[in-house]
Structure 1
Amino acid sequence: MRVAFISDLHASLDALDAVLSDIAQRGVERVVCLGDIVDLGPEPSSTLERLQQLQIPCIRGNHDTLDEHPPIQRLAEVEDWTRDQLGAAQLAWLDALPVEHLEDLDGLRVLCVHASPRSVGDQVLADTPLETLDAWWGDRQFDVMVCGHTHVPLLRRLNEQLVVNVGSVGQPFRWAFSGGPPPAVLPWSEYAIVGHVAGRVSVEHCRIPFDLEAFTRALRASTFPGGDAWLEQWARRAPRP
């Protein structure tokens, strides 16, 4: 059995559709979304609708609450704009999403969270201390944990457990953002496939081209605030500070 896990769509419908098409071509029939469906992108309503139409199980990310109150004015304006694009039923749907989900892959327990079992805002990184992760895990029992949030893919083994960050569909970062200038956004979309067949566990990180021209058209066709400044993140290739 194989399941595709997607995360951090950030209201990019073209990127979502391209990823779903790639998943179908690989013969994977089940998809689970790990949150951050909306915010920071030009098509929040249609992106949410696509997930609903396809009945894709979803959990809630930190941006899906739309109450982050970010200190950066540009991000606050985008959050307000996103809220205005969604109807009452869509906002209620987001609010009702669970914060975690346990997926059973033929006996393999896959814990689905946005960031960590403790919080939708934690960053599970390659160098996060094991003691910290143990505290975040609490008493949850799982074989594999899949997450997003950092926009950076990761595969890490912790004793007998695997941690898989699936990357971002809508805005893959060059590095995990922890303050300072926003990271450059890379020109592709990312997701991961976890498989369990005859006792063998597989993890495949997938990357497909991101159609920046389609994203630019969607951005400029909308009233998304500060669109040109937003596009600079795709153009920037500055080294990490």
Structure 2
Amino acid sequence: MPINLSNVSLPVKLLFSGYLMIIAIGYGMATIQILVTHGMADGKFGLSIQDIVYSYYGNRSGSHLESKLNGSMKANAPEQDRFALIQWVRSGAGERDYLDHAKAIFDTRCVPCHNADAGGLPDFSRLDNINKYTHPDSGATLASLARVSHIHLFGIVFIFMFVGGIFSLTSGVPLAIKCTAIVTPFVFLLLDIASWWLTKLNPHFAWLVILGGAGLAMAFVFMWVVSMYEMWVLPRYLRR
């Protein structure tokens, strides 16, 4: 009898199911992380095309600091403080005005998180560091895109290698559909990564980011549901 998900031993089912459950939770946490980072780029909760444009291409009508104050950092300071910092940037981000007015706001609202001990966050206790963010917002840097791209390529490809490996043991899925489902996430992963770089060059490619992410999600959900069904539900029907 050929080995498939409906007749593998209980330990193997538990191993596969445990992996699929943890990966599903991780996928959900990744979605939440996207919503509270990229999804707040325009200052409104929920991922939109505008969020993607701001994240990768940038909001070039204003500075990077202004984009953050009106976007993902909006909830961290009252409107009057955000307005004062934006006005300081638009008036030239001068040192005298910084010392007289802006510094106190930065020290109160920003420095508790953005300090020398914050790790990956910029240190806003120093004016020279702040000035790096007072220029027009050009979105993600090439260095950050390269870093995130290689992390996603190496990480997500392993996730779908194992998910696809488990799914390949299904018995009730036609071969053509099975092969398509297994290949689909790799195609959409490449599309997803490429869309970040294309959107950096031109905001009209932002819709490709949505398409790439949606394709990955649909392939994952399909393979996950079918695999769990054949391990735990299908054997009950076969015994009848």
TM over 0.5: no
Q: Which has the higher strand share?
A: 1
Task: Report 1 or 2 for greater relative contact order, CA contacts < 8 Å, sequence distance ≥ 6.
Answer: 2
For normalisation by structure 2, the TM-score amounts to: 0.26
CA radius of gyration, larger in: 2
Q: Which has the higher helix share?
A: 2
For normalisation by structure 1, the TM-score amounts to: 0.25
